[in-house]
Amino acid sequence: MTQTPTDVVVINQSVAILVDGNNIERSIHSETNKPNTMLNFDTLVPRLLGNRGLNRLVYFREGRQISSKLKERLHTNYHGSVRPCHKSADIPLSIKATQLASKVDTIIIMSGDSDYVELVRHLKSEGVRVEIAAVPATTSKLLIDEADHFHEITRDDWFTLETKKSPRKNTSRSRKPATDQSS
């Protein structure tokens, strides 16, 4: 059977990705036991989007120590932003999600935290498709059940930075034996 132009389905959805950075980082670190493991946004974001359009990507993270490389990479590649949070990302992420509800078709929340169950219910009541992307082992079953779709974040979605070993400092200074110059 040959396809005619009327058989082709074009998906024209606008998607926002909201990342609870601390939650995802803790989940990945618990899987790898390595604190220098990070998400590979270059493979993960296209997989999450499929053939849908990215409206915005916001990475929420508690604390002031946020990698400038991450900020730059998210901005350059996805016009994304990093938002420091005073405490946890739950409230700022929830506020942003409700602000975006009328502007996007789908919101992908990257977190496994059951604190987002009520947010998912609210967004769905507003007509927004809600998807969760998280590490299965650290994701609330209730959150998965409440979402329209669950994306598993697996080992294929992260990488571990090799730590550079600093050269050993020789603490015992080698001294040349003193030569007797009196002769």
**DSSP-assigned letters across all residues of the chain:** -PPPGGG------EEEEEEEHHHHHHHHHHHHS-TTEEE-HHHHHHHHHTTSEEEEEEEEEESS---HHHHHHHHHHHS-EEEEESS-SHHHHHHHHHHHTTT-SEEEEE---GGGHHHHHHHHHTT-EEEEEE-GGGS-HHHHHHSSEEEEP-GGGEEEPPPPPPPPP--S---PPPP----
Give the tens place of pLDDT for each residue, 73-107.
999 999 999 999 888 899 999 999 999 999 999 99
Please say whether the beta carbons of 24 and 39 come within 8 A.
Answer: yes
Q: What percent of the chain lies above the pLDDT cut of 90?
A: 69
Give the tens place of pLDDT for each residue, 7-43.
777 778 999 999 999 999 999 999 999 988 999 999 9
Q: What percent of the chain lies above the pLDDT cut of 70?
A: 85
Q: Could you tell me the fold of the domain covering 22-160? A: Rossmann fold (3.40.50)
Confidence of residue 6 (pLDDT cuts 50, 70, 90): low
Q: Give mean pLDDT, residues 146-159.
A: 96
pLDDT of residue 10: 72
Q: Give mean pLDDT, residues 128-133.
A: 98
pLDDT of residue 63: 79
Task: Provide the residue ranges of all domains of the chain, joining segments of one domain with +.
Answer: 22-160
